Amino acid sequence: MKRNNTFGLVSSLVVLIGFPVIFLIVSFVTGNWRFFLYSLFPSFLAGFSTFVVTKQQIKKEKVS
């Protein structure tokens, strides 16, 4: 796996898991759950699309 693919995979997982966790902590501290709710869809959209593209690149790299 190339370095770019590794970076893409790690960044997509950080966006998918890390950002919602950060906003969950902010929501716990402030008591305002809108932070968490409004962060779920954008982080899923960005993280999942990057994850799919990265997995396709890794699959192409293994075939060739």
Does residue 63 register a pLDDT over 70? yes
User: To the nearest whole number, what is the mean pLDDT of the chain?
Assistant: 90
- pLDDT band at 1; cut points 50, 70, 90: low
| Structural domain of 21 | 3-63
State the CB neighbour count (10 A cutoff) for residue 50.
Answer: 18
For residues 2-29, one letter each, b for 16 or more C-beta atoms within 10 angstroms of the residue's C-beta and e for the rest, the string is eeebeebbebbeebbeebbeebeeebee
Q: What is the pLDDT of residue 34?
A: 93
Q: How far is CA 51 from CA 6, 12, 19, 35, in A?
A: 11, 5, 15, 24
- pLDDT band at 32; cut points 50, 70, 90: very high
Residues 6+ apart with CB under 8 A from 48: 12, 16
Q: What is the pLDDT of residue 39?
A: 92
